[in-house]
Amino acid sequence: MVVTGLGVVSPLGVSLETFWNNLSSGTSGIGPIQFLSDTAVPKNMGGEAREFSESLLKEIIPKRQRKFIKVMCRDIQLGVTAALLAYQNSKLDPAMIDHDRFGVGFGANQMLSPPEVLKDACWACVDDLEGEARFQFEKWGEIGLHAMEPLWLLKYLPNMPACHIGICVDARGPSNSITMDAASGNLVLGEALSVIQRGAADIMIAGTTGTWIHPTKSIHAALWDELVHSDDPPETWCKPFDKNRNGSVVAEGSAALVLEEESHARNRSAEIFGELLGAGSSCVTDRNGVPQLRHAMANAMNAALRNASCKPDDIGHLNAHGSGAVAEDKAEAEAILEVFGDDGRKVPVTALKSYLGNSGSGAGPLEITGSLLGLRQGVIPPTLNYQTPDPECPLNVVHGDPLTTNNKTFLKVSVTRAGQASALVIRGE
């Protein structure tokens, strides 16, 4: 299965040219958050898709679908935009394809209503009891829910990106939605690979969307994740695998890939960016429910290699999860050494969250796009801010200038805080 279209909405830009120019020049997308005046994350810093706006979506969405933008939260808008950009990039002719064999697979984080959407309905269910304001749950169904806008729920369902994308491009084939945080991207691409391999579709649009730049989700990130606290310039904050790393940076973004059965793509003389070779996944916790990230990532990488009929020494570089969190990066380094053995200290590793921040489910396909665009130039994009090697992460981290390579096969791995890991083997063109 080959990749014939790419679309991005990211902190590095919303066109492939801008995205690659920023990536190849070492430009960070991390800085002050402008979309929200205040969040729960340190100093209100993050990887924001600053070039994105509803007006961009209005320009590319079919005219008949513009009315639905009002029922798309930001996550959905990012995802639909990236998918339509990928569709444009693929140069598919809608009059020449079988729309019953055209499908969509899309991943997302959990989507949440911001407080201003819920406040009136919630206050309608509050009573003053003995001088204390208390929310009365029994009032929600009769009073609170009726104070919500009628189409409220449709704005925040994580399956809606796939629904809107399918309608926009008239994709009537298989449709699937995956909500598994950072593991979603590899999973949804692996599912699209399976759909095409088993003959259920000729074309799939697959990708993910996610934002942690949100009033409520930023609180969750502050509570659940190891976030950077620093007085240094924000573009230097995310330091995957560096000895002085001290956490991740929240972000938002979306990327989509158009995937085609190879003969279908070549019959229409499509431009090919790469080929998906295999996928794997794993979830590991101990008997007490404590996530075991190292084992999950090692299992997923080994499964992807088996599925692709590849060996570790076939891999030209590893596109890491690389969040910058201390324990998470250490576990990933251990997993890489477990899978690659002594070669784990030699295989080039790049970690693109150093530019983009961590958008959860949105991150994986964005990082894959970075590798695919780099390999078209014969290079591996470097990791930003890597200065001091960490003895606990003894990896060959690409840093400084892009690294020239002739081996265009790479392995992408992602993991969640809950111990859910996914991996893909991809060959660039």
Tell whether 229 and 353 lie within a shared domain.
yes
Task: Compute the distance between CA of residue 371 and CA of residue 366 in angstroms, rounded to an integer.
Answer: 9
Which amino acid does the sequence have at 180?
A: M
Q: What would the pLDDT profile of 314-345 be if each residue is shown by its tens digit?
A: 999 999 999 999 999 999 999 999 999 989 99
Tell whether 60 and 121 lie within a shared domain.
no
- Helix axes 363-376 and 16-24, enclosed angle (nearest 10): 80
> How does residue 141 score in pLDDT terms, banded at 50, 70 and 90?
very high
Q: CATH number for the domain including 158?
A: 3.40.47.10
Task: Compute the distance between CA of residue 216 and CA of residue 219 in angstroms, rounded to an integer.
Answer: 5
Tell whether 375 and 267 lie within a shared domain.
yes
Tell whether 101 and 139 lie within a shared domain.
no
* Structural domain count of the chain: 2
> How does residue 2 score in pLDDT terms, banded at 50, 70 and 90?
very high
Report field, pTM of the whole predicted structure over 0.95: yes
Tell whether 388 and 318 lie within a shared domain.
yes
Q: Three-state DSSP class for 275?
A: strand
Say how many Å lie between the first and final Cα of the chain, rounded. Answer: 12
pLDDT of residue 150: 87
What is the pLDDT averaged over residues 159-188? 97
From residue 332, give the alpha-carbon distance in Å to each of 278, 296, 322, 346, 356: 20, 10, 8, 15, 19
CB-CB contact of 174 with 204 (8 Å): yes
Tell whether 146 and 159 lie within a shared domain.
no
Task: Compute the distance between CA of residue 368 and CA of residue 336 in angstroms, rounded to an integer.
Answer: 18
pLDDT of residue 111: 95
Q: What would the pLDDT profile of 342-382 be if each residue is shown by its tens digit?
A: 899 999 999 999 999 999 999 999 999 999 999 999 999 99
Task: Compute the distance between CA of residue 385 and CA of residue 100 in angstroms, rounded to an integer.
Answer: 47
Q: What would the pLDDT profile of 144-170 be if each residue is shown by its tens digit?
A: 998 998 889 999 999 999 999 999 999
CB-CB contact of 388 with 242 (8 Å): yes
Which alpha helices (DSSP H) does 91-205 contain, by range?
115-123, 160-169, 184-197
Q: Which residues of 309-339 are buried (b: 16+ CB within 10 A; e: fewer)?
A: ebebeebbbbbbbbbbbbebbbbbbbbbbbb
Tell whether 106 and 129 lie within a shared domain.
no
pLDDT of residue 413: 98
Tell whether 355 and 208 lie within a shared domain.
yes
> How does residue 129 score in pLDDT terms, banded at 50, 70 and 90?
confident
Task: Compute the distance between CA of residue 143 and CA of residue 138 in angstroms, rounded to an integer.
Answer: 9
Tell whether 291 and 228 lie within a shared domain.
yes
Domain assignment of residue 10, given as a range: 2-112+154-428
On the question of pLDDT at 3 being above 90, the answer is yes
pLDDT of residue 131: 81
pLDDT of residue 130: 78
Tell whether 40 and 125 lie within a shared domain.
no
Other Cβ atoms less than 10 A from the Cβ of 214: the count is: 24
Tell whether 85 and 161 lie within a shared domain.
yes
Tell whether 140 and 239 lie within a shared domain.
no
